[in-house]
Structure 1
Amino acid sequence: MIRKLVLGIGLLWLSHTVQAVEYFALDEVRLTESPFKQAQEKNLEYVMTLSPDRLLAPYLREAGLTPRTASYGNWENTGLDGHIGGHYVTSLSLAYAATGRADVKARLEYVLSELERAQKANGNGYLGGVPDSDKLWQEIARGELRADLFALNGYWVPWYNLHKIFAGLRDAYVYTGSEQARRMMLAWADWAAALMSHLSDEQIQQMLTTEYGGMNETFADVYALTGDQKYLTLAEQFSQRKLLEPLVKGRDELTGLHANTQIPKVVGFERIAQLSNQEDWHRAAEYFWRTVVNERSVAIGGNSVREHFHDKADFDPMIEEIEGPETCNTYNMLKLTKLLYGRRTAPEYVNYYERALYNHILSSQDPHTGGLVYFTPMRPNHYRVYSQTHQGMWCCVGSGIENHFKYGEFIYAHQGNELYVNLYIPSTLHWREQGVRLSQTTHFPDESGTSFSFEQAADITLKLRYPQWAAGEPQVQVNGKAIKVEVDADGYIALDRHWKKGDQVALALPMQTHLEALPGGSDFYAILYGPIVLSAETSPFKDEVLNYYADASRMGHIADAERCPIDQAPMLVASSPDFAEQIQRIDDHQLRFKASGVIQPVEYQNLELIPFFRVHRSRYMLYWPYSTPENIGALRENRAREEVAQLALEAVTIDKVAPGEQQPESDHFFQGSESEAGVHLGRHWRHAHDWFSYQLNDPQAQARFLQITYFGGDAGRHFFIELNGDVLAQVRLSAERGPEFYSVEYVIPPEILAKADKGKHLLKFVAGEKSIAGGIYGVRLLSDH
C-alpha cells in the first residue's frame, strides 16, 4: 500500500520505508529576492523561449506522424533526438510547482497532449525520439545485443535518451498531479517491461554496458506509485552489477569510468534500497557518495575531467585540462545527497549540498541570457561557454533547465513536528500539515546571518542548522533577546516552544576566509569564505575578444580558445599556506576581497576576489598555484618547461579525439565493428578485431598531419589507417619502444586531403588478417608545424 504521495518532491515512499526526514512539496516553498530567485526567473525565460513543437518533433516523427516543424539541431538531430524534450517535461513540471504560473501549466498540458498523440500512434505504449529505433527494439526483443560504452546495437545511448521522457512523465504526475502523465508513464513502463521479458539477466547486464541514465530509479518510483512488484523487479534488473558489486564491498574501481554514467545508477541503487530494505545496496550508495565527495571532488563540489573519473591520487589533469567538472554530474550528486539525507540527517550531506549548490549549480547559468554551462574548467586563467537557446542541446542544457527550478527542494525538511532549516536562502514556507507559515529573510552570503518570522502561531520544534564552517559559538536571538543554545550531533540548534504570530528568530552565521588545497597533495589552492568559493576575473591577453556563447556544433560546449600558460598565471606567494588573514574584505555589503600582499606578479596584486557564482563572461582564477618566495622562480621555470611542448601541440591541433572516451567519440560520430574500449595505465584506448572510424573536423582545410598515439606493449599488431577512403599508412606495432606511450605523425598527401567532404575527414582503422587494429590512445589532426 502507498502511504503517501507528496507532490512536488520526486520522492515517493512506501509504508515500510525508513526515513529520517520528509521533504516539502515544491509548491509549499517560494523563493524571495536573492541570486537563486533571479536564476529561477531567468531560467523560466529561457525555458519558455524554447519551441515546444521543435522539441516534440522527434516523438511525432518516430510515431509516423507529421511534426508541426523541424526538430532542433545539435544533439537533437544527430542521434540523441528527443532527450531535451524529456527534460523539458520535467522542467515545466518543476516550474509550475515552483511558481504556480498558469502559462507554464498550459505549456505543459500542450506538450503532454502532443506526446500522448504520439504514444497512441505507436500503439504499444512506446514513446521516444530515438531515430529509426524500430529495428533496435526488434533486435533487443530477439536478444541480439551489441553493447559498447555509448552505443547499443549502433544507437547512441538509447536507454539514456528514453529515460528522460520516462522521468519527465513521472515528474509531470509527481509535481503537478497530472493523471494524463501517470497514464502515459504506466503505458510506457509496461512497454519496457514487455520488451525486457524476452531477455535473460545475463543479456540485460550485457545491455547495461551502454549508458542507461537513471532507468532503475524511475522504475523504482513507478513501484512506489503503484505498489506493483514487477516495477521494482525491473528496477533491480536495470541496475548494473559490475558497478554495484565492488561498491558493496567498499572498493573504489571508479578510475577511468565515465562519471555521469555511474552517478544516476547509484541514485537508483539507493532508491531501490529505500523501497526494498536492501542494506547492501544502501551501503554501496553511501560508499560511492563518500568516495566521490571526499576523494574525487574539487572545491565547487564538482568532479571529473573530460567527463571521466581520473586517478584520485593525481589531480594534475584537473588543472591542466580545460574540460573540468561537468554540471550534469553535480545535478545527479545532489539527487543522491538528497536521498541519503532523507534517510540520515548527517551534517556532511548538507555541507556538500550547500557547497555544490552555491558554487557549481548557481554558477552554471549566465545571469544575463540564462545560457547553461557544460564544463567548468579549473585551469588557471581559463573560461566557460554558455548555451544559446535554440542552438545548444547538450545533456547539461537538459539537466540545467531543471536545476534552477529546484532551489526550494532542500531549504527545509520535516519529521513529526520538527522543522529542519538546512539552507539560508530567502524564502517562505507554508507547512500545510502543521498550519505553519514561516518566512526566512537574509542576504547570505553577503551578510553573516539569517532571520525567521512566524506568520501564524504554531507548536513545533525549529531546528536550525549550525554549519561546520561557522567561525564561532552559536548565537541565537528570539524576539531580540539572546538565548542559550546547544548544537546537537547532527549540527542543529533545536528551539522547542509555542510560537506566536510575529515571533522573530535571528541566527548569526560568522564566516571566515580559509584555503583548501586541491586534493592529491597538490600545491594549488582554492580560497573560500565560509562555504563560498572565491574567484577573480582575469585578462591575461591584451585586447582579447572571446566568444562566450557556444555555437551549434557538436563540440561547441568546450571553451577551446587559447590556453594561458600556467607558469604565467597569478600565484599565491607566502612563507606558508597559513595566510588567510591577509585576505581582506573590502566591502561591507557584498563579498569583495583583496589579497594584495600574497598575489604575484605585481600586475595581479589588485585582483578582486568575489564569489565564483558572480564570475561570468571572463577568464578567471579559481585554483591558484602556491609557492614560497624562495621557490617561486624554480617553480615557474619547471612549469614552463613541462607545458611548452603541450601548449605548442595544442596550438597546431585542428581536431582531436580521445578514443574510448564517451563524449569525444560520439562528437566525432564513432562507428565500428567488433570494437572494444578500455583504460590502461590511466589512459583510455580503443581497438577492433574488424574496424572503427571517426569523423574529423577541418573546416578551414588546414590539416597536414595525422598524429596517432600508441602503447609499446601492443607489439605484434597489424592494421591499416585509412583517411577519406584511401590507405594512409600500414602499421605494424613493434616492441622496440618498450612499455611506454608514444606518438607517430603521418604526412597526409594533398590528394587524400582533397577528398574531404565539406571539411570532414573520415578516419578509419582496419585490422589486418587475424590481427587487431589498435590500441589507439589518441588521435590528432595537425596543421603545419
Structure 2
Amino acid sequence: MIRRVSFICCLLSFVVPIILKAQSHYPGQHKGKFAIEDQLKPAVYSFDLDAVRLLDSRFKQNMEREQKWLATIDTKRLLHSFRTNAGIYDENEGGYFEIKKLAGWESLDCELRGHSTGHILSALALMYASTGDNQYKLKADSLVSGLAEVQQVLNQNGYLSAFPQELINRNMQGKRVWAPWYTLHKIYSGLIDQYLYCNNRLALETVKKMASWAYQKLQIVTPQQRSLMLRNEFGGINESFYNLYTITGNPEDQWLAEFFYHNEMLDPLKEGKDILEKKHANTYIPKLIGLSRNYEIEGKGEGDKIARFFWETVNDHHSFATGSNSDKEKFFKPDHQSAHLTGYTGESCNVYNMLKLSRHLFSHTADVKYADYYEKALYNHILGQQDPETGMIAYFLPMLPGAHKVYSTADSSFWCCVGSGFENQAKYGEAIYYHTEKEVYVNLFIASELDWKEKGFKLKQETTFPETGKMKFSILQSPGLQMGLQIRYPSWALNGALLKVNGKVLPVKQKPGSYLLISRKWKVGDNVEVDFPMSLRTVATNDDPDVAAIVYGPIVLAGEMGTAGMKSPAPFSDPKLYNDYYTYDYKVPSGIVTSLTLKKDNLNISVRPVAGKPLTFRTLKEGILLRPLYDIHQQRYVVYWKLK
C-alpha cells in the first residue's frame, strides 16, 4: 500500500510498535536485527555478502584497488567538515590548519560536503562483509565515534551533518540549495549499513537520533511546502527511513519514509505514463527503490507495479547497449539514443541505482530479465568505471565517438559517482547467487565460493568468463538432501548450451532467457560444467538501425582510437571545480573512424578474432581493433558505429 502523508498530528506516533521475529531481505537477512517483518514473501532470497567470497578475477582486482584507496583516506580528513560545522577544535590533533582538507565536492564551500563520508561508511561495511577483514570495521568504528561526538556537540535534537541546518531550512522554504536531503541520505544509509553489517550499536543510536530530529523538523511543513521541497533531489532517503523503520519499529520512521513519497514524479508512472524526458535520472531512480522497499514491507499495493513499469521503460526506451542511461544526467526522449551520443552519457550513479532496483525486482519475481540486465550493466559499465592503473572512478561513460573516460583524483574530486563507486567495488558478491528453500540460483558467472551455512552447502565456481563461456561448479560440502541448482541460461546465448554433470552430457531442453535446473542429492566432489558459446552481434539504437554497437555475448566491444590530443597525466586542469566534467573538452581529433562496413546478419565475414588475445577482434576492411569497453582506459574509443 502506498500511503499519502497526513499533515495532521500522526496518530501512529502513539502506537506501541509490535516486536516480531523479523526477516527482511534488505540487504540479505541479518537475523535478529529487525522489529518489523517484511510481509512480502519473495520468489528468491539474496545471500548475505559474508556467504560469498570472490576468487581471482577482474572483480576481485577492482576490489583490491578499492581497498588501497579506502586505506589512504584519513579518518580525520573525512570528519573535518563535520567537526568544523560543530566548532570542534582539538589541539592534540594539530588543530584546524594542520589537517589537509578534502577538495571538490567535499570542500568546505560545497553544499554536498559530507556525502562521501556516508558512502565510505557503507563501503567499509560492505568490504568488511565481503572479506571478513577487521581493518575495515576498525576504520568504520572510528568514523562512527567521530560522527557521534559531532552530533553530541552540535546538540540540535539529533541533527548531524557537515553543513548547518540553514541548508535544510532553505530547502523547506523552497529556496535555491543543492541537495541537502540527498547528502543526509548517504549518512543515514552509511550508519544503517554499519549496524547491519558490523553490528555497531552506536551507529544505530546515532541514526535513530537523526531520524528523531527529522521527524520533529518536518512536522511544521505544509502540503504546499512539501510539494515544493520534494522537487529538490533527496536521493533514496525514503528507502533509508523504510529500512530504519524495519529495524526500530518506530512509526515516526515510517512517517518520514512516506513523507518523501513524491506524487509529482510517481503518480504518472502508476498510470503507465512515460514522463521521464528531461528529468534528472539519478533523482528519479532512488524513488522507485524506496517504493519497492515499501511494497516488501507491506506485501501489497501498487509499488511493485510502478517500479516494474519504470524499470522496463528505462531499460527498453532510455538506455544504451551498455545498460547505462541519460545524457548530461537527464533522461532523453524515448528511443532517441542516436541523438545523444555525447561525452556526458551514462552517469555511473544511475547504473548503481538501477542495479539496486533490479535486485529488488528479481527477488520479487525470479525473472531472468533482471539478472540479464544486471550482468550487462555490471560488465559494461561498473567494471570499467574504475581505472585499473590508478583505481580512480569515472563519472560518465561517454558514448561520443572518439571520447575517453575521465577519472577522479584521490582527494580532490569526490563527485557523487565517486561515492557510489566506493560501494560498487565493495559488493560484487551481492548478486552472484540467490536461493529458495531448496534451490540455489547462479545469476552471474564470477569466480567465487558460496557458503550456505544454514544448509551446510558449499559451492565453488571456477571460470574465466567472459574470456570464455565456460564455467565449472564443484560441490565442496553438502547435507546430502535433494537440492536444485538453477544456472542462468542467458538471453545472449543464442548458440545453445552444453551441460555436463560429473562428466556426463545432459540434454538441454530450455531456451535462452531461462534457467538450467539440475536437481539431485549432491555429494562432495560432484561437479557441473556449463558452456555458453558466445557470438558477435550488433545492438542498434532504437531510432536508427544503422547506428549500432558491436557486442560479443554480453560484452560491448569498443574500437581503440589511440591517445591523440589527450591531456596527461590528469584529464582535469583543476579538479577543484565542482562541475568541470561538463566543461571538459574531449578535443576529438578529425579523422576518427566512426563508420564500419559490416554485414549485420553475419559479422564473422567482416570481424575476426585476433589469435592469442581473448575478447579481441579486428575489422577486416578498416583494420579497427575491438576490445571490451570495460578494458579500454586512458585512450579514446568508439562504441556506436555508423554501419554501411
- The partner residue of 2:641 within 624, 629, 645 is 624
Match of 1:734 in 2: none
Match of 1:118 in 2: 150
C-alpha contact 1:515 1:580 (8 A) present in aligned 2: no
Deviation string, structure 1 residues 568-594 (Cα, Å, up to 9, x no partner) = 423112465653543222235621111
Deviation string, structure 1 residues 272-297 (Cα, Å, up to 9, x no partner) = 12212343222111111000011100
Name the CA shift for 1:580/1:234 in 2 (closer, same or farther; >3 Å). Answer: farther
Match of 2:465 in 1: 444
- Does residue 537 (structure 1) correspond to residue 567 (structure 2)? The answer is no
Match runs of 1:493-532 below 5 Å: 493-521=516-544, 523-532=546-555
Instruction: Compute the displacement of 1:558 (Å).
Output: 4.8
Name the CA shift for 1:545/1:179 in 2 (closer, same or farther; >3 Å). Answer: closer
Match runs of 1:74-473 below 5 Å: 74-77=104-107, 78-131=110-163, 133-137=164-168, 145-146=173-174, 153-319=175-341, 321-458=342-479, 459=481, 460-473=483-496
- The partner residue of 1:72 within 95, 99, 102 is 102
C-alpha contact 1:26 1:98 (8 A) present in aligned 2: yes
- The one-letter code of the counterpart of 1:260 is N
- Does residue 615 (structure 1) correspond to residue 639 (structure 2)? The answer is no
What secondary structure, in the 3-state scheme, does the structure 2 residue paired with 1:328 have? Answer: helix
Instruction: Compute the displacement of 1:21 (Å).
Output: 0.8
C-alpha contact 2:40 2:300 (8 A) present in aligned 1: no
- The one-letter code of the counterpart of 1:135 is E
- Does residue 42 (structure 1) correspond to residue 65 (structure 2)? The answer is yes
Instruction: Compute the displacement of 1:432 (Å).
Output: 0.9
C-alpha contact 1:371 1:386 (8 A) present in aligned 2: yes
Larger radius of gyration: 1
C-alpha contact 2:349 2:417 (8 A) present in aligned 1: yes
Deviation string, structure 1 residues 483-506 (Cα, Å, up to 9, x no partner) = 234438971111111111111110
Match runs of 1:542-621 below 5 Å: 545-550=567-572, 551-558=575-582, 560-564=584-588, 568-574=592-598, 578-587=602-611, 590-597=614-621, 599=622, 605=623, 607-621=624-638
Bigger share in helix: 2
Deviation string, structure 1 residues 154-200 (Cα, Å, up to 9, x no partner) = 33211011111011001111222222211112111111111112223
Name the CA shift for 1:569/1:84 in 2 (closer, same or farther; >3 Å). Answer: same
Where in structure 1 do 4 or more consecutive aligned residues deviate above 6 Å? 10-13
Name the CA shift for 1:136/1:527 in 2 (closer, same or farther; >3 Å). Answer: closer
- The one-letter code of the counterpart of 2:141 is E
Structure 2 gaps, min length 5: 1-19, 94-98
Instruction: Compute the displacement of 1:229 (Å).
Output: 3.1
What secondary structure, in the 3-state scheme, does the structure 2 residue paired with 1:470 have? Answer: coil
- The one-letter code of the counterpart of 1:590 is P
Name the CA shift for 1:157/1:585 in 2 (closer, same or farther; >3 Å). Answer: same
- d(CA) in 1 for partners of 2:636 and 2:466? 23
Name the CA shift for 1:559/1:525 in 2 (closer, same or farther; >3 Å). Answer: farther
Match of 2:515 in 1: 492
Instruction: Compute the displacement of 1:315 (Å).
Output: 2.5
What secondary structure, in the 3-state scheme, does the structure 1 residue paired with 2:22 have? Answer: strand
The farther-off stretch of 472-481 and 321-330 is: 472-481
Name the CA shift for 1:156/1:492 in 2 (closer, same or farther; >3 Å). Answer: same
Instruction: Compute the displacement of 1:126 (Å).
Output: 3.3
The farther-off stretch of 529-538 and 583-592 is: 583-592
- d(CA) in 2 for partners of 1:368 and 1:567? 28
- d(CA) in 2 for partners of 1:238 and 1:394? 24
C-alpha contact 1:387 1:557 (8 A) present in aligned 2: no
- The one-letter code of the counterpart of 2:499 is V
- The one-letter code of the counterpart of 2:360 is L
- The one-letter code of the counterpart of 1:30 is R
Instruction: Compute the displacement of 1:232 (Å).
Output: 2.1
Match of 2:39 in 1: 16
- The one-letter code of the counterpart of 1:421 is V
What secondary structure, in the 3-state scheme, does the structure 1 residue paired with 2:302 have? Answer: helix
Name the CA shift for 1:559/1:403 in 2 (closer, same or farther; >3 Å). Answer: farther
- The one-letter code of the counterpart of 1:134 is Q
Deviation string, structure 1 residues 82-103 (Cα, Å, up to 9, x no partner) = 1111111111111111111121
Name the CA shift for 1:315/1:139 in 2 (closer, same or farther; >3 Å). Answer: closer
Match of 1:27 in 2: 50
Match of 1:679 in 2: none
- d(CA) in 2 for partners of 1:364 and 1:553? 21
Structure 1 gaps, min length 5: 147-152, 600-604, 628-785
Deviation string, structure 1 residues 422-450 (Cα, Å, up to 9, x no partner) = 00000011101111111100000101110
Bigger share in strand: 1
Match of 2:5 in 1: none
- The partner residue of 2:81 within 58, 74, 84 is 58
- d(CA) in 2 for partners of 1:168 and 1:574? 49
- d(CA) in 2 for partners of 1:313 and 1:410? 29
- d(CA) in 1 for partners of 2:511 and 2:161? 51
Instruction: Compute the displacement of 1:559 (Å).
Output: 7.8
Deviation string, structure 1 residues 701-736 (Cα, Å, up to 9, x no partner) = xxxxxxxxxxxxxxxxxxxxxxxxxxxxxxxxxxxx
- d(CA) in 2 for partners of 1:213 and 1:450? 38
C-alpha contact 1:479 1:503 (8 A) present in aligned 2: yes
- The one-letter code of the counterpart of 2:173 is L
- d(CA) in 2 for partners of 1:130 and 1:44? 25
Deviation string, structure 1 residues 539-582 (Cα, Å, up to 9, x no partner) = 374x7654454433223435823433787423112465653543
What secondary structure, in the 3-state scheme, does the structure 1 residue paired with 2:148 have? Answer: helix
- d(CA) in 2 for partners of 1:248 and 1:15? 23
- d(CA) in 2 for partners of 1:560 and 1:116? 39
- d(CA) in 2 for partners of 1:423 and 1:308? 29
Instruction: Compute the displacement of 1:224 (Å).
Output: 1.5
C-alpha contact 1:7 1:174 (8 A) present in aligned 2: no
Name the CA shift for 1:587/1:120 in 2 (closer, same or farther; >3 Å). Answer: farther
C-alpha contact 2:23 2:37 (8 A) present in aligned 1: yes
CA-based RMSD of the aligned residues comes to 2.2
Deviation string, structure 1 residues 315-345 (Cα, Å, up to 9, x no partner) = 24422x2111100000000000001101011
- d(CA) in 2 for partners of 1:61 and 1:215? 24
Instruction: Compute the displacement of 1:7 (Å).
Output: 8.3
TM-score by length of 1: 0.74
Instruction: Compute the displacement of 1:129 (Å).
Output: 3.3
Deviation string, structure 1 residues 640-685 (Cα, Å, up to 9, x no partner) = xxxxxxxxxxxxxxxxxxxxxxxxxxxxxxxxxxxxxxxxxxxxxx
C-alpha contact 2:38 2:297 (8 A) present in aligned 1: no
Instruction: Compute the displacement of 1:352 (Å).
Output: 0.5
Instruction: Compute the displacement of 1:209 (Å).
Output: 0.9
C-alpha contact 2:489 2:516 (8 A) present in aligned 1: yes
What secondary structure, in the 3-state scheme, does the structure 1 residue paired with 2:451 have? Answer: strand
Instruction: Compute the displacement of 1:611 (Å).
Output: 1.0
